[in-house]
Amino acid sequence: MDSKIFYRIEELALLIEKFRALDGKDQEWLRDLFKGDRTIISCLEILDLIENKSLSYYELANIMGCSPETVKQKLNAMISGGIAINQSRRKYKAPRGGRPRKLCNKPSDTKVSVL
């Protein structure tokens, strides 16, 4: 992901969050407007995936069919743009030991206001 896309996501972050706060019917017809814009659609998919559970960059990348680095950069751009996303490191048991993995989730009590 290049810096142009990063800054675009950063600029659109609060509008993406406002879109997610809309009623399902409103989202449905508006989503048609984004069909040609893979960047916005992928950001919405990431936010939908982390809405109710914590996922690592690797897990998100596997689901979305992209690289973990792309997921990380998109999340960082959305955070930089003002979307509240929790990122934490938690230990987990791996067969041969393991290091903490970074998990991302979306706080459910976040209110969005766009001025």
The pair of structure tokens assigned to 37 is 């814009």
Amino acid in position 90: R
Q: What is the percent of the chain where pLDDT is above 70?
A: 75
pLDDT at 113 over 50: no
pLDDT at 99: 54
pLDDT class of 95 with cuts at 50, 70, 90: very low
Q: What is the pTM of this model?
A: 0.74
CA distance 88 to 103: 5
pLDDT tens digits, one per residue of 20-73: 889 888 888 887 777 778 888 899 999 989 888 888 888 899 999 999 999 999
The rounded distance, in Å, linking the Cα atoms of 81 and 40 is 13
Domains of the chain: 3-105 (1.10.10.10)
The torsion angles phi and psi of 102, rounded to 5 degrees, stand at: -85, 125
Assess contact for 96 and 110: CB atoms under 8 A.
no
